[in-house]
Structure 1
Amino acid sequence: MIYYLISPNYINVVTFVSILFAFALTCFAIYMGKNILPRDGGRAYAINGSKSVG
């Protein structure tokens, strides 16, 4: 089906651009949602956290 829309000569270029677009969109979504994502509380809240201090 995609060969009807895009010439087979440009399929590699379209694939590469699609991967770059997906990567950029993922980075943007992580950047915009970094305040919404859960954060690790660290060793202070872990069970026996004082024993694991290096």
Structure 2
Amino acid sequence: MSDGTLFPLLHRMELGGLVRKRKKNVEEKLRKYGRITDKGNEVLMKPRSYDRLMEIKI
């Protein structure tokens, strides 16, 4: 999966409440971490969940 696919998908997931992101300084560099939410787990366990994620409006 390319960056041009992955990052828009993660952004859609965050807007939909499926992923929660946080930022942390590590050795003077900003790192971004994501964690799937309970809602995200429920959605991703359903068939065709990728198609539904792509339908979330940005």
With the length of structure 1 as denominator, give the TM-score of the two structures: 0.29
Structure number with higher helix proportion: 1
Higher relative CO (Cα under 8 Å, sequence separation at least 6) belongs to: 2
Structure number with higher strand proportion: 2
